[in-house]
Structures are given as C-alpha cells and as structure tokens.
Chains A and B, each alone.
Chain A
Amino acid sequence: MEKLFKILTRISASFVFVILVATVIVLYLTARPAIEEFGLNFIIDSRWGVVETIEKNVVAIGDATASAQHNNSTDPIANSNTDSSGIDNPTHANTSLADDVLSSNDDIRAVDDFSINYDDLDIDVDSESADTDDASKRTVYGGAVPIIGTIFSTIIAMLLAIPIAMGIAVFLSEIANDFIASIIGTAIELLAAIPSIIYGMWALFYFGPFIASIFGGHSVSLLVAGLVLGIMVLPFMAALSRDAINTTPHVLKESAYAMGATKFEVIKDIIFPYAKAGIIGSIIISLGRAMGETMAVAFVIGGIFKFAHHTTDPTISVPVVLANNFAESSGMSMNALFYLSLILFMVSVITIFSAKYFFLRKQP
C-alpha cells in the first residue's frame, strides 16, 4: 500500500515533465515540414501566404501535362511509401520514388524537382491547379511580421508597466499604512485575476477609441495592444515586486532612517539594491506573460500581416496569428503556424527559466 502510494505520487509528479516534453516534441513534429522548408529564414521572412514563382526547368508543354498526370497517379503511392519507410527527408524520397516510377515506364524526362516538391506540400489545398500550372509555384510563409509585432507590443507594455508597477509596489510596502495597503493590495490582485478576454473587450470598445482620440490613428493598433498588455501585466508585476521589496530587513531600513535619510533615499539606496534580483525577476516573468498573451491583444492589434510603420498602425503578433488563422489552415500554412507556436513556446520557456534561475533562485 505504502509502496503503491509512493509510486502513484511519483507518476503524478512526472506528469508535469511528460506534458512539457510532449509539448515540445508534438510542436516540433507538426512544425517539421515548415522547418525543413523555410529553415531559420522563417524568422526574418516577412511574407505570409504569398505565392512565389520558382524558375522551372524547360519541359515541353505536352510533356508537362503528361508528367502532371504521372505525378498525379504516382504521388499517393510515393506518399504512402515515404510514410511507411520513415526516411528522414520525405521530399527527397518522394522525388526519387517518382523518378523510379517514371523511369520504369521507360518514359525518361527531366522531372522537375520543384513541381514535385510543390505537390508534396499542398496536396489537400489545390494540387490540381498545381499540376496543370505551367510555372512552378510555392506558397511562402514567414514569421517576421508577427514576431516583430510581438516584440514591439511587449516593449510598449513594459515601458508602461514597469514605472507604474514599481510605484504601486513601493506604495504598498513603504508608504501606505497597513489598512490601506491591504485594501489596495487586494484590489490590485483582483485586477490581476480578471480574465484576459475582459481586458480585450474593454480595450476594443473603450480604451482603444480613447487612445486613438489622444494619439490619433486607428483604434486598433500596435500602441493600443501594447498599452492593454501593460495594464494587464502591471498588477502581476506589482504584486511580485512588492513581495521582493518586503524581504528587505527592517534593520537595514531603520539604520538608514536613523542616519537622517529621507524615505526616497531609503527606497533608492537601501531597498532597491537589496531587492534588485527579485524585482528584475518579476519584470522578466511579466515580460514572458506579456509575450504569450492572446486574448487581450487579439481584439485590438488589428490582425493584419503588415509591419506597423507608426505605433498607431495595426499589425499582428504571434499569439494572435495562432488565434485567428488556426481554424482556416491546413497543409503548409498549418505547419507554419505550429512553427510559430514552437518559437513562441521556446522563447517564453527560456525567458521564464532564466528569470527563475538567475534572479529568483535565492529567494526563500
């Protein structure tokens, strides 16, 4: 009984590990076609769903139709073969198998690598038009626009949240008396508990137009998205920073006061240096949150694939791409979405882990 119980608890604990590892593996596997196709270029490519024409080897028109028919007939075979044989590079295997079939028909011709490549990618989308098309095309997906959007909205959020959160944290721990601090502290924590979709809705109908009336531009924009994000993470950041500030020993503060230091000097010279690691850690964790936030941003960032040239222009961020485009995607665009998801996941895991490791480790 005792043994059984112990094993059961151990299995439960391992669940956390299993889920995390499974997430990485599943995301990687589903993203792999996109990773192989676009590589690291994905991060700096700003085109999403743009059809790109690739120069094609010269094939006589009559042959092209014939070859298209062959491709049509051989593709399913080739696909099933690659699936079962488990070769590392499906595109390559596909080509060679198609080659084999063609040569066994004694019908040797220049088989265009790219056309087969294309068939392989977009089989469920429009393989027919691809077969009959003369020029070979492929649809390019690049993540630069949402990645830049995410980075900038997070920066705006941090610029807003850090000063306000620090102000609140200092107010709660050093300025307000216990009664006021407990009331305002609870209020701030309630602000943190409000579901993110509520922030998004509020921003869409009230905050966005309000910001647009001050700064001009659209009521859905990078700026509005960043500010909403900032408002959303600030209670979280304030609560964590307050806890860090509260770890400063009273003796240190009292000796500074005894030397005649003002409150501001105590805060600046005693508390902040002492609680520095905890405060930086709380900022980085909040940054990780802001980066991955979906619903607060989805309403107000605009959701269009375009770089924002001004902060008041609409753009898109990684989580919003995932939220908006997932339902209508299939084939390569789906793989590209998983690629984005994997990038987001890895970046946020690294962010959080480094915050934990470098800054929050020594906390009791």
Chain B
Amino acid sequence: MMRLLINKIAILLSTAMAVLGLLFLGWILITLIIKGSASLSPYIFTHDLVNDGIRNLLWGQFVLAGLASAIGIPVGIMAGIYLQEYGNHTRYASFIRDLSDVMMSAPSIVIGTFIYAIIVVPVGHTNGWAGIAALFVMMLPIVVRTTDDMLSLVPIELREAGMAIGAPKYHVIFHIILKAAKVGIMTGLILAFARIMGETAPLLYTSGSSIYMGSSLSETYPSMTVSIYNLATMPDEKLVGLAWAAALILTLAVLALNLLGRFLIKEKRL
C-alpha cells in the first residue's frame, strides 16, 4: 500500500514539474504578447530608432545574422563533410568534434571579448564586421555538428553505389550524400540561424548598436538585441514599450524558425 502511495506521489510530482515548466513558458509568452502588442504599430516598422521606430534594428539584426550565415554555413558544411567523409574515425576528426562541442557551449560573452580584441581594438570603434565575425564564431560549431550528424545517417550503400559507377568522391558527396541529407541539414541551418538571431552578448561591444540605418558595415551597426538591452533600462516609458515590441517580434521570429525546422524534419519522417 505504501509503495503504491509513494508511486502516486512521485508521478504526481513529476507531472507537476512538467506543468511548472509550461507555466513559465506561458508566463513569458503572455507577458511578451501583452506588453509587446501594446506598442506594436505600423509606425515602428517604417521608422528608425532615432524616430522611435525599429526598422533599422530589424534590418541590422537580419543583415548581421544573414552575413554571418553566408560565411558560416559553407565553412561549417565543408568541415562537417571532412569529419564524416574524409577524416571519419581518425583521431584528428574526433579531436575536432570534441573541440566543436566545447566551442558550442563556450560562453558567448567570451567570444565577444575575443572578437573585440582582434577586430574592434585595431579598427578603433565598434563595427558591423566585428558583429558578423562574432556571430560566425557562434554559428560555426552548430553547423559543423549538424552536418556531421546528418551525414552520418546517410547509409553507406549510397556512397558505395556512387563509387561503384566510377564517380569521383566529391561528386558522390555533392550529388548523392548531400542530397540525401538535405532536409536534416536544412533544419540544422534554420535552427543555427534562429540561435544567432537572438544572440546579444557577442554583439554588445562588437557591432554595438546604432539609432540610424546602418550605412556601412565598417561603422557601428544597428542590432536589435543590443538595442533591446539598452532600451529596456531607459526611464522613458515609450522606449521601454519599444523594447517590448522588439522583444516580441524577435521571439516570434525565433520561435517560428524553430517550428519551421521541426516541421521540416517531421515531414521527412512521414
């Protein structure tokens, strides 16, 4: 009898924990939606921060994350290909795998300080390229890991079949293996992009944030997340409201990207 009671209590507790987790998610989302939608208006999408809008921030964040992806994705995929197709089972490959896992969990603020030391200090002021470099460093290990994992799921027979008809290895990789792993890699890329979209710490003193439309990447560049950080502690109610609106848009974008990634993977399984 006692055993059954303990069992009931344990199950109840465990369920309560899951409910608690959902409660936090609900609390955060509801807060965001209520506070964010209060300041949401067409006006903020057509004006820059200097005129109390967030157009330049949206654009800036998108450009920073987009350009970082433009560099990070090819390099990351190539590295993943090396790990799985060329260096697999070698010590060097497993060493790189470990390092990439370590890098994935490295504190993002430290990456910010690193980029600050090598780019911002020589240039003398915060600039867009430094922000891109920081996001690239954040993104690279995620792409490497995903590509590596997804390629490992491709059956060996496909490779053998390609080799057997005399195709060179790079041809096999590009036309057979990458095609087979396409959906998985796409999902990983979407998740990686979503991750760096929401990053603040590595941008704080690399790109900084500007209240104007970023004219050039060699100048201080507008960043949505950094601006949210700055605006949220302003005494001006209106600016705090703007921060909430930006936070809402950012969260919705990140969550939508995540759901899209999940949806893609599910479609493939069916």
Binding site for B on A (CB under 8 A): 1-2, 5-6, 8-17, 19-20, 22-23, 26-27, 30, 163-168, 170-172, 175-176, 184, 186-191, 193-202, 204-206, 231, 234-235, 238, 262-265, 267, 285, 288-289, 291-295, 298-299, 319, 322-323, 326-327, 337-338, 341, 344-345, 348-349, 352-353, 356
A35 to B251, CA, bound (A): 40
Residues of B within 8 A of A198 (CB): 28, 32, 198, 247, 250-251
B39 close to chain A: CB less than 8 A:
no
A176 to B76, CA, bound (A): 37
Contacting residue for B96 out of A14, A205, A231, A238, CB 8 A: A14
- Are A10 and B82 touching (Cβ within 8 A)? yes
Residues of B within 8 A of A264 (CB): 3, 6-7, 10-11
- Are A288 and B82 touching (Cβ within 8 A)? no
A187 to B20, CA, bound (A): 12
Contacting residue for B103 out of A16, A170, A201, A202, CB 8 A: A16
Interchain residue pairs A-B with the least CB separation, the first 9: A292-B107, A167-B17, A195-B198, A9-B82, A12-B78, A262-B7, A12-B79, A264-B10, A294-B201
- Are A191 and B21 touching (Cβ within 8 A)? yes
- Are B198 and A197 touching (Cβ within 8 A)? yes
A201 → chain B closest CB, angstroms: 5
Q: Describe B's contact surface by its main secondary structure.
A: helix
* A-B contacts, 24 listed (Cβ < 8 Å): A12-B79, A13-B83, A13-B96, A16-B100, A16-B140, A19-B140, A23-B114, A167-B13, A167-B18, A168-B18, A184-B21, A190-B258, A191-B28, A193-B258, A198-B198, A199-B28, A201-B228, A201-B247, A288-B105, A292-B109, A323-B204, A345-B106, A345-B107, A349-B106
Q: List B1-35 residues whose CB lies under 8 Å from chain A.
A: 3-4, 6-7, 10-11, 13-18, 20-22, 24-25, 27-28, 31-32, 35
Given contacts A194-B255, A197-B198, contact A292 B106 (CB under 8 A): yes
A238 to B21, CA, bound (A): 10
B10 → chain A closest CB, angstroms: 4
- Are B13 and A10 touching (Cβ within 8 A)? no
Residues of A within 8 A of B86 (CB): 6, 9-10
* Nearest CB in chain B to that of A235: its residue: B21
B230 → chain A closest CB, angstroms: 11
Binding site for A on B (CB under 8 A): 3-4, 6-7, 10-11, 13-18, 20-22, 24-25, 27-28, 31-32, 35, 74-76, 78-79, 81-83, 85-87, 93, 95-96, 98-103, 105-114, 116-118, 137, 140-141, 144, 168-170, 173, 191, 194-195, 197-201, 204-205, 225, 228-229, 232-233, 243-244, 247, 250-251, 254-255, 258-259, 262
| Other A-B pairs beyond A16-B100, A16-B140, 8, CB < 8 Å | A5-B173, A12-B82, A13-B83, A23-B110, A171-B15, A198-B251, A234-B21, A338-B113
Residues of B within 8 A of A353 (CB): 98, 102
Residues of A within 8 A of B74 (CB): 12
Residues of B within 8 A of A186 (CB): 262
- Are B250 and A189 touching (Cβ within 8 A)? no
Residues of B within 8 A of A201 (CB): 228, 232, 243-244, 247
Interface centre among B114, B191, B255, B259 (most CB of A within 10 A): B114
